[in-house]
Amino acid sequence: NAYLEHQEKVYSYAQKEREDRQEIESGKVFDYLVVGAGLYGAVFANEACKAGKTAVVIDKRDHIGGNVYTSRRDNIDVHEYGAHIFHTSDKKVWEYVNQYAEFNHYINSPVARYKDELYNLPFNMNTFSKMWGLYTPEQVQAKIEEQRAEYIAQKKKERGLAPEEAFVPQNLEEQAISLAGTDIYEKLIREYTQKQWGRPCTELPAFIIRRLPLRFTYDNNYFNDRYQGIPIGGYTQMVEKLLSGVPVMTGIDYRTFAKKYAGKYRKVIYTGPIDEYFDYRLGHLQYRTVRFETEELDMPNFQGNAVVNYTGSEAPWTRIIEHKWFEFGKDLEGNDLPKTIISREYSTEWQPGMEPYYPVNDEANMKLYEQYKKLAEKEPGVLFGGRLGTYRYYNMDQVILQAWEMAEKELKTRILVGSV
Ligand code: FAD
């Protein structure tokens, strides 16, 4: 059944691609060319169609979905660009996405592995009681306070500060220990952060960790949001639904499309990198990126959890994702899956030509972005959006809100969803 369904989908998708191409190549002039078939582009195009406008969506990758793209391998939905967990406290966003996908009840509860010790994340009573053999919040708070106070006193002495003078952390190490104490820092923060940023914590600015949420309850749910889950059958299906009725062309870059189909659209919604649009004329914006090493294993269960963070330096990767656990290890018909697929994630410095993932929103990069933004505001007929177009990290729900904002302004429409 699953095979036939898959074949049917491949067939209908190929047919849609053919029809889309015919439509694009016909004499039709579209109201919008949406560059990027990620969540932002798909939501905007969807709203444009609902508002009676026409849109064509293109992407330089050979698939839709942008970074939320999932591919089905061995009946497992593989998150090809990193684990994506949908979470939001916005009821309207939740109802909106539920129109396009059925979500399961997945709750993100990562585990941290430090050498051969395992700890629950986020930092909560399960983590603390494993670390110190303590049971009550009061005991744990006292323990953390004792470690913080000892460290801060020592640092003040080193800096020649009087006990009543304020201690201002000068780097990420000082910030983390003064918030969470030495044990948590050494086992769960130090080496993990160093792997993420490629530099020791003593050379990283304190502001990277503004707060360190410590939970004094036995609660392993990583997110505080009201709604959470994974679209059953993957994210690609959800984006497909958002784009049904919208012609799409993948595997084509904006410049190539613009040359080939000049005059076939009135306005551009651009969700690619803003600096690339302007041919990097003011310089490159910087990103951190992640390299994924994905492996199929002939075993049913590799690590027993979707997300395991490796917080020690003995492993060069930051995390291992075991994709099947996002859907409870079952196929779409509820059968157990005999195999598994894992991805090791390596955090690396971004170089031109690599996938840009996390914008480095430090002072120098933000200054450069502001200059590009000024150029963008003067660019006739082009509007910039999405995480690359505005050089900001957005969660999926935030990107949807951003696309709605653009749609409401540009299409003079109001986003209406179910009860909200
Ligand atoms: P994208 O998805 O990047 O889409 C932009 C598209 O534009 C791309 O497909 C690109 O190929 C295309 N493009 C770029 N330039 C051109 C061009 N010149 N011509 C044609 N096409 C072009 N959010 C959550 O809520 N939960 C999570 O758990 C989560 N995990 C994440 C994990 C990782 C590793 C990363 C990097 C992000 C994660 N996010 C998560 C954030 C989420 O991925 C983004 O919010 C969302 O994908 C942004 O959508 P977008 O449309 O703005 O960008």
Cite the DSSP H helix spans in 26-160: 39-50, 91-100, 125-132, 137-159
310 lines ligand 1 (CB under 6 A): no
| Tokens read off for 170 | 């000068």
Are residues 160 and 277 both part of a single domain? no
Are residues 138 and 234 both part of a single domain? no
Residue 234 pLDDT > 70:
yes
Residue 70: pLDDT band by 50, 70, 90 thresholds?
A: very high
Are residues 392 and 266 both part of a single domain? yes
Are residues 22 and 101 both part of a single domain? yes
Residue 263 pLDDT > 90:
yes
Q: ipTM of the predicted structure?
A: 0.99
Question: What is the DSSP code (8-state) at residue 381?
Answer: T
Per cent of the chain over pLDDT 70 is 97
How many helices (H) and strands (E) are present in the chain, helices listed first? Answer: 14, 16
Segment 352-371 mean pLDDT: 90
Q: Which domain covers residue 310, as residue numbers?
A: 287-349
Task: Give residue for tokens 């990193």.
Answer: 82
Are residues 182 and 94 both part of a single domain? no
233 lines ligand 1 (CB under 6 A): no
User: For residue 114, how many C-alpha atoms fall within 13 Å in the half-sphere facing its CB?
Assistant: 17
Are residues 323 and 188 both part of a single domain? no
Backbone angles phi, psi at 75, to 5 degrees: 65, 15
Report the pLDDT value the prediction gives residue 360, as an integer from 0 to 100: 87
**Ligand 1 centre distance from Cα of residue 289 (Å):** 12
CATH number, residue 66: 3.40.50.720
Are residues 312 and 196 both part of a single domain? no
36 lines ligand 1 (CB under 6 A): yes
Element (H, E) at 349: strand 340-349
Return mean pLDDT, the chain. Answer: 94
Report the pLDDT value the prediction gives residue 361, as an integer from 0 to 100: 79
Q: Pick the atom of ligand 1 nearest to 357's CA.
A: 36
394 lines ligand 1 (CB under 6 A): yes
**Ligand 1 centre distance from Cα of residue 388 (Å):** 8
Residue 11: pLDDT band by 50, 70, 90 thresholds?
A: low
264 lines ligand 1 (CB under 6 A): no
319 lines ligand 1 (CB under 6 A): no
Closest-CA residue, ligand 1 atom 40, reads 395
**Ligand 1 centre distance from Cα of residue 249 (Å):** 17
Closest-CA residue, ligand 1 atom 16, reads 272
Query: Tens digits of per-residue pLDDT, 132-182?
Result: 999 999 999 999 999 999 999 999 999 999 999 999 999 999 999 999 999
Residue 116 counted as domain residue = no
Per cent of the chain over pLDDT 90 is 86
59 lines ligand 1 (CB under 6 A): yes
| Tokens read off for 161 | 């500060």
Contact 309, 220 (CB under 8 A): no
Are residues 271 and 387 both part of a single domain? yes
Are residues 262 and 407 both part of a single domain? yes
b/e 226-243 (16+ beta carbons within 10 angstroms → b): ebbbbbbbbbbbbbbebb
Are residues 153 and 49 both part of a single domain? no
Are residues 182 and 305 both part of a single domain? no
Are residues 130 and 204 both part of a single domain? yes
253 lines ligand 1 (CB under 6 A): yes
39 lines ligand 1 (CB under 6 A): yes
